[in-house]
A and B are shown apart, each in its own frame.
Chain A
Amino acid sequence: MLDQTPAPLVSVRDLKMHFPIYAGLFRRRVGEVKAVDGVSFDVMEGETLGLVGESGCGKSTCGRAVLRLYDITSGEIRIDGREIGSVPQPDLRTMRPTMQMVFQDPQASLNPRMTVEAIIKEPLDEHTKLTEAEKREKVAELMDAVGLNRKFAKRYPHAFSGGQRQRIGIARALALNPKFIVCDEPIAALDVSIQAQVVNLLEDLQEKFGLTYLFISHDLSMVRHIATRVAVMYLGKVVELSPREALYAEPLHPYTKALLSAVPEPDPALASTRERIILQGDVPSPSNPPQGCNFCTRCPAVMDICKQDEPKTHEVQPGRFVACHLYNDTADRTAGTEV
């Protein structure tokens, strides 16, 4: 990037997405699942922000909420200079072309009754005034771009393998020349040897079209490969946000440490030398998070303060944000950098 301090393309502040729980005869509201509970981050133009965490931590909900696939509980979302957090759904339609999504399950996210051509063409029908011939040409170009043979345009999704289906999903997301794409576990449903193909494709497309990605995944090795910066989520909150190299070299938050140490190392020589932190217990329910820090029930470095006060996010090193009481001291010294 030429500009040293690029403006964020996407800016999320204190995003909350709570789902109500109804119970009883009158379906009274008895509580809420705090799937995303006060998340803030920026995504710079042209970068890939990795969003990692275990299942149920709210990473997918976060990705969907950023694109306003939900009506969010509160918070601000600014994409490409426009605030979309509070825009009513009908008005959002005109903004959809800049922001697109690639879904996790290529089987479920493609309509089995539509041909590949119809699937990729649908966004063009909806948002552009191109003629039929122009649309067909555009579809063919998109199929070339994602490595699908244009001869297969009239086939149905079932005739394609998992990796190819994911390519169809990617072509559909690219149809309207978006700037920002949320990739929600795009490779989780694919075989190991196919994952690399799709990841390389996403990287090529990013370079070619100048795309910005929010890459949601539970695969920490893959995120290390693709992401510029990484945000780690636990129980609805971002606990650490760092540039990739720093995060993997020296994780700061105790949860990040445990998470990274739990990733199996595909080399027996290294596997036997690595120190592994085995966390006790399970993730608490997001409908009833613990008091204080959300991680205090499983944290190996838990202190008294953790069970009372929720830790604030501090910038403890340039560009490294951590929400943990262990780093309160460091944060004092760099006061005023709170997000």
Chain B
Amino acid sequence: MPDGALPVLDVRDLKTVFKTRGGEVHAVNDVSFDLRPGELLGVVGESGSGKSVTMMSLLGLLPSPPADVRGGTVTFGGKDLLQLDPEGLRAVRGGKIGFVFQDPMTSLNPVFTVGMQIAEPLRKHMGMNKKQAAARAKELLELVGIPDADQRLKDYPHQFSGGMRQRVMIAIALACDPQVLIADEPTTALDVTIQAQILELMKDLRDKLGMAVIWITHDLGVIAGIADRVMVMYGGQVVEHAPVKDLFQNPGHPYTKALLTTIPKISGTREKRLTIIEGQPPILAGAPKACPFRDRCNVAMDRCAVENPQRYDVGAGHDVACFHAEGV
């Protein structure tokens, strides 16, 4: 770590397996990363790449069975979250670690007012009484830019628009001054102009409150605008990890390279034809014994089919899980 700060969250070799009737699905394979105070770590990947499952696993949010978090350590505040009992985990979730889910339409409870839902973590984690919680809830709504906060606290989720609901979700996640905020595709369900509002808000809040943020998305454009460091996931593994500028200017993994060229550009020269990545994302049955990207890779070698590459350090906090990066 160049800046020498101790990570607030340190995940090592996390492994999650789903047991299904068709056999075991290895959704997260030895994922390791750390999160430093005040930084924004972007996690990019397509659906099924394991990005959400990774975050759900480390907070114990996956129903077991079918999920089985099989190994690894998650160090937060000097404790291993994977060893905590449900009671201990509950004290962390929603308190020191906030979570914003993808779909603001379904993650708020329709039968409680927004005010009650923001007050819930305050009373549970901070031991506030009703009055204090209501006052803080109002502050939070103002913080996330909802006008007329006093009145809006009494409204139900259906009375809010999508963008406003996502602001409410963020307010709930921020309620207890978390050290870490995990946002799982928080803008995917929103329109671009509303997404722009939420991105601005998040950057602003991060600077104001100094928390560390993990931002999960499939949109490289969002990552480019908001993240400090990026982790690219494919087939349940981290295939590349780099500072944001480095990743876009100097992508090392064939998947990242391909991904960057398949997206049409909004400015600059228009591409005549889109580059495509042939084939489908892998089905993760059985433990990985080879590179998950080999079938779609245009530089695959014989070795890629018999051995799973580790993450090779290519300098300046950039690592790539590809044999072509070995010894670079």
Contacts and interface: CB of A to CB of B under 8 A. Distances in A.
A265 B267 contact: yes
Contacts of A222: 264
Contact of B195 (A193, A262, A265, A283): A262
Nearest to B164: A282
A248 B264 CA distance: 13
Interface residues of B, number: 46
Interface in A225-248: 225, 245, 248
Nearest to B200: A278
29 contacts: A161-B280, A191-B47, A192-B46, A192-B218, A197-B276, A197-B278, A225-B264, A248-B266, A248-B267, A260-B266, A261-B196, A262-B195, A263-B192, A264-B195, A264-B199, A264-B219, A265-B267, A266-B224, A266-B260, A268-B244, A268-B245, A274-B267, A276-B196, A276-B200, A278-B193, A278-B197, A278-B200, A279-B196, A283-B191
A200 B276 contact: yes
B271 interface: yes
Contacts of B218: 191-192
Contact of A262 (B196, B258, B273, B280): B196
Nearest to B260: A266
Contacts of A282: 161, 163-164, 194
A117 to B, nearest CB: 22
A193 B258 contact: yes
- A contact face: mostly helix, strand, loop, or mixed: helix
B89 to A, nearest CB: 32
B66 interface: no
Contacts of A276: 196, 200
A55 interface: yes
Given A55-B191, A161-B280, A278-B200, A265 B274 contact: no
Given A192-B259, A203-B273, A248-B266, A268 B248 contact: yes
A278 B197 CA distance: 6
Interface string B274-297: 111110110000000000000000
Interface of A: 54-55, 161, 163, 191-197, 199-200, 203, 218, 220-222, 224-225, 245, 248, 258-271, 274, 276, 278-279, 282-283
Interface in B212-262: 218-225, 244-245, 248-249, 258-260, 262
Contacts of A258: 193
Given A225-B271, A248-B267, A271-B224, A196 B197 contact: no
Nearest to A270: B267
A271 B249 CA distance: 13
Interface string B28-52: 0000000000000000001100000
Contacts of B196: 261-262, 276, 278-279
A276 B197 CA distance: 10
B61 interface: no
B265 interface: yes
B270 interface: yes
B84 interface: no
B91 interface: no
B73 to A, nearest CB: 31
B209 interface: no
Contacts of B245: 268-269
